[in-house]
Amino acid sequence: MNKTGTLGTWQGAGLLATTLLGTSVFILPQMTIDIAGQHAIWAWSLLTLSILPIALIFARLCAKYPHAGGPANFVELAFGKVKGQALGLSFLLVVPIGAPAALIMTYQFVDGLMMFNENIALLIQYGFIFSIYLLNIRGVSLAASIQLLLTLLIVIVVVALLLRYFMSFDAASHQSILHIQSHIEDKTVLSILPAAGLAFWSFLGIEAMAHLSTEFKNPKKNMTPAIIIATIVVGLIYVACTFLITHVPTSSNLAIVEVFNTLMGSGGHIIIGILGIAGGLATVNVYTASCCKLMQSLSNQKLLLSAYSRQNSNGVANVALKHLTMIMLVVLTVSHIFSLDLEILVGLCNGVFVLIYAVSMISAIKLLPRKYLSLIVVGLAVCIVLAVSLAWKMIYALLLLMMLLPIVKAKYVKHLSHESAQ
């Protein structure tokens, strides 16, 4: 059963913003500071400016070619079915890396509220996945409304912290009445590049909106403002969080909690904890919805099981959702057993998405009018710089695509032979 889209501009902006903020808004700034020190603010600022051309090109592609296949559909339209389907499968196969990384980040906020042993921690993360399943089975419209509210709450908290920080200064002495001083280790300017490569995780989600473009009431009208508004708001929030952590002394593993307590007195574990958990679940929720849409699209193209194309009354491919949920449970268990390193997981995941973004930019050269060419070139250049910053972590993405292309081609040739025989 097909449904008419229900998302408007602000719902779409809230959905994307919470996805981008999600797991990492209160964690990733701290990780980039560990890499680049005070220069982390420049890493975030430059990355936000650099990502805007990519966001705009994605928005124009989504508006012109709304399709559940997302970037895979763009590549298929530009370069053929085999390359498009291979890219689509690359997106699906990044789930084994992205899901555990996102849930590991999310669980850090539970640790901030209450410490549990490892086995209980795993059970709580299973609970996260079950709640995501329940939310997705109802469709994306309910999640979008909830996530718009969550985005507003995160913005309010970060703005309140910034105001409290600047109110702490004495105008005469230009000193903080809280005796706040810089406490960050000096790093070389060159550290901006690897910090930006890690920070790219925060902007994973723009491509996910492409899979949900058919959920908008009017993709041509709503997609561009939704994506641009969300990208700008998110970039400013990350810069603000990085500024706060670099200017308020902390010794905590979850620095933003200590920043909150220093500036506001107390309550950081509860407020930041709740927002962090909700934001993390929101991110995984959107990726789950996007993957289901892509599985449905690839099923319609006979590349995946035909059962994945069936929808429930809410327009959700429920068999795809069930199977995806089971895969996430298995991967989470494996990552728990082997204690996979978070930074490596994030880097490998980023590599796949840099490749997806780069190939989407190349597709846009053929699919969009010439007036967008300069933006496309800038977007592609940003992808190349990010790929360089990720270094060896790009190997997984390249090997994945090289492995998938001949497999998809063989299946496509077999399908054509079968059709001609009939």
The DSSP string of 354-421 is: HHHHHHHHHHHHHHS-GGGHHHHHHHHHHHHHHHHHHGGGHHHHHHHHHHHHHHHHHHHHHHHHHHHH
E runs forming strands in 159-240:
169-170, 175-176
- Of 343, 354, 49, 40, the C-alpha closest to 192 is 40
Q: How many other CB atoms are there within 10 angstroms of residue 399's CB atom?
A: 10
* Residue corresponding to tokens 């097909």: 2
213, pLDDT greater than 80? no
Which stretch, 23-37, 291-305, 316-330, has highest mean pLDDT? 316-330
Amino acid in the structure at residue 203? F
Report the C-alpha gap between 182 and 419 in whole angstroms.
68
Reported confidence tier of residue 79, pLDDT bands at 50, 70, 90? very high
Average pLDDT over residues 94-98: 73
Average pLDDT over residues 110-122: 82
CA distance readout (Å), 217 to 7, 70, 221, 360 = 6, 17, 9, 24
Reported confidence tier of residue 177, pLDDT bands at 50, 70, 90? very low
Pairing mode, strands 175-176 and 169-170:
antiparallel
Report the C-alpha gap between 350 and 153 in whole angstroms.
27
2, pLDDT greater than 70? no
User: Higher pLDDT residue, 356 or 346?
Assistant: 356
User: Higher pLDDT residue, 396 or 148?
Assistant: 396
User: Higher pLDDT residue, 334 or 415?
Assistant: 334
State pLDDT tens for residues 214-251: 777 887 788 888 888 888 988 999 999 999 988 887 77
| 3-state secondary structure (DSSP) of residue 336 | helix
333, pLDDT greater than 60? yes
23, pLDDT greater than 70? no
User: Higher pLDDT residue, 343 or 129?
Assistant: 129
Reported confidence tier of residue 140, pLDDT bands at 50, 70, 90? low
Reported confidence tier of residue 370, pLDDT bands at 50, 70, 90? very high
Ordered structural domains, the chain, with CATH = 9-283+342-415 (1.20.1740.10)
DSSP H helices in 137-254: 140-167, 192-199, 206-211, 219-247
Report the C-alpha gap between 170 and 183 in whole angstroms.
20
pTM comes to 0.77
Reported confidence tier of residue 4, pLDDT bands at 50, 70, 90? low
Which stretch, 19-23, 62-66, 155-159, 168-172, has highest mean pLDDT? 155-159
- Of 162, 157, 203, 144, the C-alpha closest to 22 is 203
Reported confidence tier of residue 1, pLDDT bands at 50, 70, 90? very low
Residue 181 has a pLDDT of 46
User: Higher pLDDT residue, 136 or 97?
Assistant: 136
Average pLDDT over residues 31-37: 88
Residue 179 has a pLDDT of 46
Q: What percent of the chain has pLDDT over 70?
A: 89
DSSP H helices in 114-177: 118-136, 140-167
Q: Judge whether 385 and 49 are in contact, CB under 8 Å.
A: no
Average pLDDT over residues 145-168: 84
Report the C-alpha gap between 282 and 284 in whole angstroms.
6
**HSE-CB of 383 using CA atoms within 13 angstroms:** 22
